Amino acid sequence: MADRLTMQDPRTQYPQPPFPQQPQEAPGIASKMDPKPDHGETSYKGSGKLGGRKALITGGDSGIGRAAAIAYAREGADVAIVYLAAEEADAKEVVALIEAEGRKALALPGDVKDEAFCRAAVQQTVDAFGGLDVLVVNAGRQQTRPTVADISTDDFDQTMKTNVYALHWFVQAAVPHLPVGAAVITTASVQGYDPSDNLLDYATTKAAIVAYTKGLAKQLIEKGIRANVVAPGPFWTVLQPSGGQPQEMVETFGSKSHFGRPGQPVEIAPVYVLLASQEGSYITGEVYGVTGGAGVA
């Protein structure tokens, strides 16, 4: 993996396309990707910015959620991760990485489309850690569909429930437990501002996440709690080859960014750390774009 601390050309710091076609059944396993994503397993160095915090991250087994989980543990937090049972292999790796930092890890397999599971996951985290300080709602469903006619009601329902309903359920369950100084962080996308024609349902949910979080921030600041959005551009995660993009687009994924490559999950982890930490004390209701130069509006 690239040395993240040495000054260098960011365009060539990480792998550039073309990449091999690599179809996987959703939700996919990160360890099967070629090239393997850098989630920070060896490259992220912590400095105690989240010492003693208790965090819950949905979609924490792979991709951006995995990078945030690793970074949070290296910054001193105990971390619970939510993931689908099919992602157990990836989740075990993350748990081991968290525990290697001397932090508590909590594995919470289940389906975020299930309201009861979402609410139970929050309570289990509070019970295991003795509280909850940071909620990262990151789990997402993205399945490419060429035309509006190809998006079935079931497709639309699954995407809405995974990306939007679950956000509401986790937030509603978590807020009563969040202390003054806590943080809520959601994951939207550049798709919420500049939607691709093959991702209509996904893009719709990402725009909704922005609106929900900005409104939530106005409520929560009255409790001394901050809420912010991270809006990624093209990141090399298992979401892409497992149905998120057509395989021919996987081959060239990220090539249209200003960097000529996709971002690696570890490159966005510091934003999640900032928004969770006290260093972000004057940041709420904001959308942080990490898009490879595309912007978020």
Enzyme catalytic residues? 202
Give the full edge-to-edge strand order of the sheet including 134-137: 105-109, 78-83, 54-58, 134-137, 183-187, 226-232, 287-290
C-alpha 4/C-alpha 11 separation (Å) is 13
Q: 263 with 232: CB under 8 angstroms?
A: yes
Of 252, 244, 4, the C-alpha closest to 142 is 244
Of 16, 112, 62, the C-alpha closest to 244 is 62
Which residues are bridge partners to 232 per DSSP? 290
Residues 6+ away with beta carbon under 8 Å from 229? 185, 186, 187, 188, 209, 210, 213, 214, 286, 287, 288
C-alpha 264/C-alpha 58 separation (Å) is 19
Preceding amide of 35 cis, omega within 30: yes
Structure tokens at 94: 């993350």
* 270-293 CB burial, b ≥16 within 10 A, e <16: bbbbbbbbeebeeebbbbbbbbbe
